Copies of this chain bind each other. A is one copy, B any other.
Amino acid sequence: MITGKNYIGNTKSAKGNRTYQTFNPKLNLENEQLFTEATNLEIDEAVALASEAFKSFRTTPGLKKAAFLNAIADEILALDDTLITQYCTETGLPVGRAIGERGRTVGQLRAFAELVTEGSWVEASIDTAIPNRKPLPKSDIRKMLIPLGPVVVFGASNFPLAYSTAGGDTAAALAAGCPVIVKSHPMHAGTGELVAAAVVKAAEKTGMPNGVFSNINSSGIDIGKRLVQHPGVKAVGFTGSIRGGRALYDLAAQREEPIPVFAEMGSVNPVILLPKALENKGTDWAKIYAGSITVGTGQFCTNPGLLLGVKSKALDNFVKTLSTEILKLEPTCMLHPYIHNSFESNKQRATNQRGLEVVAKYDSEVAINHARQMVATVDGSIFLDNNTLHQEVFGPYSLVVQCENMEELIAIVSKLEGQLTGTVLSEGNEAANFTKLISTLQNRVGRIIYNGVPTGVEVCPSMVHGGPYPSSTDSRFTAVGVNSIKRWVRPFSYQDWPNELLPEALKNENPLGISRLVNNKQSKAKI
């Protein structure tokens, strides 16, 4: 079923002669299938088709887009075990995770289908004319959100389904009315092709224009660069490393016509252990965090890589319990030898830093590409002075920063790079006594969690997955939840436009029955 070809619009294509393979990290073997990298001509053709498709897709009614999105979900489910097996073969992740992530992916697609079926997401706004206003008559002005144009989506290594081919970025862009060109992640190109086939099948079944979706194979960086620099591309979505995301951001900013890049990048997700929480519940939290640090082999962007507390007996006990508990857990497989090697060298780099003490280190024999979890501690003053210690160690690793006092802890938080999340562990109402700390934390993160773990990102309208740089390239948007559609749209005004020529969302009759801001009042009424 997997051909190793690109999808240039609905057509399978493999005109190039550079091939690559994916890797089974559990078997430590390359998978058999050869994938053919797209050629420059194929890339240009995909963009040309997307630009052409945009002409009709941009105004495709919500119900039709919803049918398309739901059909993608159906076709993904129809792949059944074939998809799950391929996913596991290319990631080393367990079947349960694959099934869970598929559920999330399908759920996202259906959530966007619901959003565009309901229709109010376009934020229709109408200010009716006042012809006899003095000194000047007032025009009729109406506004709604419209799509930007073709979007390039870079698949993520750690979410082969939910943040790759038909993942959140793609679902949001298609819902907005933007054709999507996926730069398939080379680590799971087979999973990508299966899902791409599902998207293409869905597009054909629901009558979408050819070019509404393409899937581009690529194992290096040149193809991604070409896509981001292509004049026909109007926005970029990326999930991955800071280095990768920043490189794309820079390329996009340097274009003759700069385009928005929403890159969701690294984060160490600081967790603050307040004194009473440590005192009364330290053991419980240590057990919970042993799980959160290692879940998914620590390969989540919300992995808690930084735990901060004020030095105390209770903090010592927490560190001890965390160390004991985390070493009880069986190491699990990482996504790829490359990622496993990075994990090992990042741990090494961290432990080479002055003042860092390793308190838990899984030392027994492990299966190939399995990650040996580690916990280390460091003094607050040392952490404050050494930016290397702030950097993400992608994998099951966490650093406990032991501060002299709350002032030092606040100083550390205030100097942290931007983060996806920040967590506060608090007992009773002690958090109420730390308003300065919490306010400082809020200023550095996109989401703040009370007495919980940062891993596990709920997909709902109130979720923000994003945050100050470098956790994302633009903190004004979220990558998760239906509001992520706002990355791919712009507001557009019609002035004195004849009712019959207006889009449905803005017509007097309100044929879509959506909620609109009419002369500053929200309403579903006709005008």
Contact = CB atoms under 8 A, between A and B. Distances in A.
Contacts of A431: 498, 501
A425 to B, nearest CB: 11
A257 interface: yes
A448 B141 CA distance: 10
Interface residues of A, number: 74
B446 A490 contact: yes
Contacts of A258: 249, 253, 469, 473
A521 to B, nearest CB: 10
A496 B452 contact: yes
Given A253-B253, A469-B257, A493 B464 contact: yes
B462 A418 contact: no
Contacts of A447: 492-495
Interface in A469-518: 469-470, 473-478, 483, 486-487, 489-498, 500-501, 515, 517
Interface string A432-467: 100000110011001111111000101011111010
Contacts of A520: 461
A221 interface: no
A469 B148 CA distance: 12
Contacts of A491: 446, 464, 466, 476-478, 483
A205 interface: no
A489 B253 CA distance: 21
A139 interface: yes
Contacts of A250: 253-254
Contacts of A84: none
A352 interface: no
A349 interface: no
B249 A462 contact: no
Nearest to A496: B450
Given A431-B501, A462-B125, A448 B495 contact: yes
Given A253-B253, A462-B143, A522-B522, A474 B260 contact: yes
Given A431-B498, A452-B495, A143 B490 contact: no
Nearest to A467: B490
A526 interface: no
Given A249-B253, A253-B253, A439-B55, A476 B496 contact: no
A127 interface: yes
B470 A257 contact: yes
A54 to B, nearest CB: 8
Contact of A463 (B141, B448, B496): B141
Given A257-B469, A492-B464, A493-B463, A442 B475 contact: no
A319 to B, nearest CB: 25
A142 interface: yes
A489 B476 contact: yes
A360 interface: no
Q: Copy number in this complex?
A: 2
A268 to B, nearest CB: 16
B500 A432 contact: yes
Interface string A346-362: 00000000000000000
B446 A492 contact: yes
A126 interface: yes
Given A458-B127, A462-B126, A469-B258, A450 B249 contact: no
Contacts of A470: 257
A490 B476 contact: yes
Contacts of A148: 475-476
Given A148-B475, A257-B470, A476-B490, A143 B463 contact: yes
A478 B475 CA distance: 18
A156 interface: no
A146 interface: yes
Contacts of A136: 456
19 contacts: A127-B461, A136-B456, A141-B462, A142-B462, A250-B253, A250-B254, A253-B254, A253-B258, A258-B469, A260-B474, A431-B501, A446-B490, A450-B498, A461-B517, A462-B493, A468-B490, A476-B486, A476-B490, A515-B522
Interface of A: 55, 58-59, 125-127, 136, 138-139, 141-143, 146, 148-149, 249-250, 253-254, 257-260, 418, 429, 431-432, 438-439, 442-443, 446-452, 456, 458, 460-464, 466, 468-470, 473-478, 483, 486-487, 489-498, 500-501, 515, 517, 520, 522
Given A142-B462, A257-B418, 18 more contacts: A126-B462, A139-B452, A143-B461, A143-B464, A146-B442, A148-B476, A249-B253, A250-B253, A253-B258, A260-B474, A429-B498, A431-B501, A446-B490, A448-B493, A448-B497, A450-B497, A450-B498, A462-B493
